[in-house]
Structure 1
Amino acid sequence: MRNFAFGKAQSVAQASASASLVAEAMLAPDGGAGLNDLRIVKAGGIDLMDLMKEGLLAPAEVTSLAAVPGLDAIAPTPEGGLRVGSMVTLARLAEDPAIRGRYPALAEAAGSSASPQIRAAATFGGNLLQRPRCWYFRLAEFRCLRKGGGHCYAIAGENAYHAIFDNRFCAIVHPSTSATALVALRAEAELTDADGGTRRVALEDFFIGPDRDVQRENDLRQGELLIAVLLPPSAGLSMKHMKLAQKESFDWPLADVAVVLDLSDGGACRRASIVLGAAAPTPWRARAAEAALTGKRIDADAAAAAGRLALDGATPLSGNAYKAPMFEALVKRAILAAAS
């Protein structure tokens, strides 16, 4: 690992001025080792340390966000939702009474991420902005398409844990479990730059697929920081997050699903959000399944039909067709659990 300078930002503006885009830095030869002015902002540092140890990123300076006031706050919004700071840890997100009471699907997703030790250090913002966990991407020996190379090795290679949707150019799956729940909740990202300019963007639009940019996973711009996620009001909503993994205690999901239902007093579904994680390069909206539930009472037959429709458009690769029945079962179970 290359030596680097370390500092602590005291304000959002100071941190923004120190921010380089990790995705762009990794396109430079040797992970940017030749860029003497490469400066990276660190939240919890879990993914950053992985990238540095793997020889994929070599910043000259790392700036910590730990001392920036307000980034670790969970506070109500005027609209009746919650504003969750990007430095809130996954452990706190999973345990916070307001999150557990009003957004249980998000608490479930955060609480099932990684191990207790990692959840205690990993931040909400860092979890959303982490880079893909594809083994070809993570090995310096493979100059894959996402790192500026010529093609995606996973499409014709070892792809057991890769995407079954939107995998024509690049077969990564989005690495954040929390993102699955957030897209189902229709949450927004709050971003700011060194000049104090802010913008809000729906997370569904913030995460970008390979057809839009094959070398990036999000719409974070140069000099911008993700400072918070805005959760809309949840009154009247029923929700559930479920995950399947080889080692349930701490492993990356083979499949995960978030379901959010808006049910009438009579039990009919007014609106459904069904999002699949570990399925595509972005959290994947199962739109056909959502449409099938709208206007219907939720029962076992309706949930089973939605589970089948959730696979609409799937294109499994040579080693990951087993994911299809997993998602079908998870969607059905999550719908019934949310409705109950």
Structure 2
Amino acid sequence: MNRFSWYEAKSVEDALKNANTTLSEELYSPSNEAAFFKSGGIDVLDFLKEGLISPKTIVNVRDIPGMDKIEHEHNEGMTIGANVTLAEIEHHPDVAINFPALQMAVAHAATPQLRNMSTIAGNLAQRTRCWYFRSVDHQCFRKNGDRCFARHSETGQNEGHAIINNGSCVSVHASSIATALLALKASVVIQGGDMKKKVVSIEDFFVSPMQDISRENILGKKDLITEIKVPAPSANTKSFYIKQVARESYDWSLADVAVVAEMKGNTCVDITIALGAAAPTPIRSYEAEKILKGEQLNDMSITKAAEKAMEVARPLSKNGYKIPLFKSIIVRALSELI
């Protein structure tokens, strides 16, 4: 690990003045002058230890006043400060009561120790966990290289990689919390260098590799997430989240799904179905949603929706198992709404 300076930001404006790049830009085009943000620091510390980044300055935004609060208004929804930890979200009573899918997703993220450190903004902004991307010995597309090592049909270790929208980089986003926030139609509030705020839906926050291979989100060098907004659920809304991992103790998602539905009896008035670890970004299955809107939720309609969600899947050489796995957890999650 190389030496670097540490700057304690006193305010959002102070932080923005002292940053000059993003983690994504530094990994794609390294410099000797990089100064970027750190909050919980889980992802940044990993990259430092792995020797993938050598910043000149790390700007600590963890202690900026006012970014560590959870506020809930029954008719407006919930506002979660960027520096709120996953543990604080997990144990907040209003989250469990009003947004059970989010509480489930947070409770299944990482370990208790990491949840005590990780912030919600950092979780959303983290980079892919693809082992080739994280290796100093593999210069892949996302690091300005000339190939995707995971895609290779014989040597590529792609068991955990994308089965949908995998036309270029085939890695998946690591945030399972983003899956729940996508199903809940949450938004990200971003403050730019001009001190103007913009509100972006979770769906538009993420960037697919086909749009820009160098990044996974829209954050620019002078952008800082300040809060997450989750709209109030409609009456009679139910939600559920399932994450499938290889090891029960602590592992990255092989497949996860979040479902949020406004129900009238067993009839689905409206629904969102979000999938994680299926594509390079969290995605909604709009076609599966169409099948269920206005229909009774039963074994037949639920199975049909799960099948529809996987019609677009194009597995790689070693991850074909994900198709039946996703079908299974989609069925399980939807069945919890009845």
What TM-score bracket applies, with the shorter chain setting the length? over 0.9
Indicate the residue corresponding to 2:129 in structure 1. 133
* Runs of at least 5 residues in structure 2 that lack an aligned partner in the other structure: none
Rounded Cα–Cα distance in structure 2 between residues aligned with 1:235 and 1:296: 18
1:221-240 to structure 2, matched below 5 A, reads 221-236=220-235, 237-240=237-240
Alpha-carbon distance in 2 for matches of 1:176, 1:194: 26
1:157-184, Cα deviation, whole Å (9 max, x unpaired): 1101100001110101011010000011
After TM superposition, the structure 1 = structure 2 runs for residues 7-46 of structure 1, keeping only pairs within 5 Å, are 7-19=7-19, 20-28=21-29, 32=30, 34-35=31-32, 37-46=33-42
Residues 217-296 of structure 1 aligned to structure 2 (within 5 Å): 217-236=216-235, 237-264=237-264, 266-296=265-295
Runs of 4+ residues deviating >4 angstroms: none
- Determine helix, strand or coil for the equivalent of 1:302: helix
Give the 3-state SS of the residue equivalent to 2:133 in structure 1.
helix
Counterpart residue number, 1:62: 58
For normalisation by structure 2, the TM-score amounts to 0.96
Say which SS state the counterpart of residue 300 (structure 2) adopts.
Answer: helix
Match of 1:263, as an amino acid?
M
How far is the alpha carbon of 1:277 from its aligned partner?
Answer: 0.5
Q: CA deviation at 1:79?
A: 5.4
Q: CA deviation at 1:21?
A: 1.1
Q: How does 1:82-101 map to 2 (within 5 A)?
A: 82-101=78-97
Contact 2:141 2:147 in 1 (8 A): yes
Secondary structure at the counterpart of residue 43 of structure 2: helix
Rounded Cα–Cα distance in structure 2 between residues aligned with 1:163 and 1:209: 12
Distance in structure 2 (CA, Å) of the matches to 1:285 and 1:63: 34
Matched, 1:110 2:110: no
Q: The residue matched to 1:259 in structure 2 has which SS?
A: strand
Aligned equivalent of 2:76: 80
Measure how far apart 1:66 and its partner are. 2.1
| 1:211 corresponds to 2:210 | yes
Identical-pair percentage = 38
1:119-150 deviation per Cα after TM superposition (whole angstroms, max 9, x unaligned):
11011000000000000000011110011111
Provide, for residues 79-129 of structure 1, a one-character-per-residue CA deviation record: whole Å limited to 9, x for no partner: 511110111111111111111110110111011001111111011000000
Inter-partner Cα distance in structure 1 for 2:127 and 2:183: 21
Which range moved further: 150-159 or 76-85? 76-85
Q: In the aligned structure 2, how far is the partner of 1:288 from the partner of 1:193?
A: 35
The structural deviation recorded for 1:326 is: 0.6
Hey, what does 1:327 align to over in structure 2? 326
Q: Structure 1 residue 196 and structure 2 residue 212: aligned?
A: no
TM-score (norm 1): 0.95
Identify the residue that residue 169 of structure 2 maps to in structure 1.
170
* 2:336 matches 1:304: no
**Distance in 1 between residues matched to 2:62 and 2:157, nearest whole Å:** 38
Kept after mapping to 1: 8 A contact 2:4/2:56: yes
- Distance, in Å, in 1 between the alignment partners of 2:191 and 2:34 is 20
* 1:222 Cα offset (Å): 2.1
